[in-house]
Structure 1
């Protein structure tokens, strides 16, 4: 088997293991703390509404969205969208996820630089993520070093997106944890569960960034080997 293929398979296996471990941690943490009601009795939707109102973001909508762990903040629509379980649920997991998504709304309102950078490079990333694999394949089958170098350059945008996403997600979790305590949504005894849910969620983005770094190093290795 070609050395490049073997190395690519190794990178993919390691990436899959990292991503799988992150996903397992998120789901296990969420499952455990979605069964524990928060002492406030507030639903995720009520917590989100309270956070937004107290921070002058009454114009931001709070909406349910189908699925599990499909929660997100849409900066274009100015809407916090919570999965149905978190929208209506009052568990520690539900209020933690709601607060995290509101953290993104606060970032958006405050012009948080990493979030603005992520939004700015998103169109480039969408293009690059579709084109770089094709360019890489063209280079590997012998159509020239140019194509592999192009794949490296295109993947840089993907890597940059993952790197910029890290502070965005970690900061949103940090804000959420502080807000939940200050606003009395969770008690001191519930803080550990909330922290676990928020930390697990942030780790998925760390795993994605690590996988992107491994892929970039592989592309760089192949491009130098071709010289």
Structure 2
């Protein structure tokens, strides 16, 4: 039963992860071929959004890698991949606006973002220790280690769950700003933005679901282990 449980959750988790990655790459590639009527590049859109919101001190930097775009709150800086920084495609300006959404969250001390940042030091420890504790608890039938591993892994799950409102809110901000500022025009461009940002958001949903399945799997194992020991 335990082997079947591990096998099922592994296959479902892998399928969700691969599907999410396929959707992101597919939609990004599709809308990378469609130029925005505004003609603005990802870098120009990001700079405009930041300046319009008083974030003149936040640089927009180009970084290597594909889909390596992110907002660094420690710098702070908006960092865009070359495919986004230099391109005037719907995909590029959507991603750039999304990352600026995080910069606006940071400026306003958006609650979920602040909480996620505060979790990072704890997560750096618990995420590394949890797999070893869970493995040892199952392999050596040590309930105490398994429970401790579950507690540690719960922080990983919580981090995934807190990430969801952070990402959805950043995308919502991006869509509103892009429409209001005229970075996109017409139904077709709005549809492209929704596809690009929607598929990106699904990767975080998939990650949270996989983490939840992992947690539930070990909870079941704890129950089965305690039952067999009685």
TM-score bucket (shorter structure): over 0.9
Displacement of 1:26: 0.5
- 2 CA distance for matches of 1:52 and 1:122? 25
Cα contact 1:152–1:216 (8 A) shared by 2:
yes
1:134 to 2:106 alignment: no
Equivalent in the alignment of 2:90 = 92
- 2 CA distance for matches of 1:86 and 1:141? 46
Runs of 4 or more, structure 1, over 6 Å off, are none
- Find the residue that maps to 1:82 and give its secondary structure: strand
The CA deviation string for residues 154-181 of structure 1, in whole angstroms up to 9 with x for no partner, is: 1110000000000000000000011110
- Find the residue that maps to 1:64 and give its secondary structure: strand
Displacement of 1:20: 0.7
Equivalent in the alignment of 1:161 = 159
Equivalent in the alignment of 1:208 = 207
CA-based RMSD of the aligned residues comes to: 0.9
The CA deviation string for residues 10-65 of structure 1, in whole angstroms up to 9 with x for no partner, is: 11111110111111001000000000000011110000000000001111110001
Cα contact 1:128–1:157 (8 A) shared by 2:
yes
Equivalent in the alignment of 1:62 = 60
Displacement of 1:5: 2.8
**TM-score normalized with structure 1 length:** 0.97
Equivalent in the alignment of 1:19 = 17
- Find the residue that maps to 2:60 and give its secondary structure: strand
Cα contact 1:96–1:194 (8 A) shared by 2:
yes
| Structure 2: runs of 5 or more not aligned | none
Equivalent in the alignment of 2:169 = 171
**TM-score normalized with structure 2 length:** 0.96
- Find the residue that maps to 1:68 and give its secondary structure: coil
Cα contact 2:27–2:196 (8 A) shared by 1:
yes
Q: How many residue pairs are counted as aligned between the two chains?
A: 225
Cα contact 1:173–1:198 (8 A) shared by 2:
yes
- Find the residue that maps to 1:108 and give its secondary structure: helix
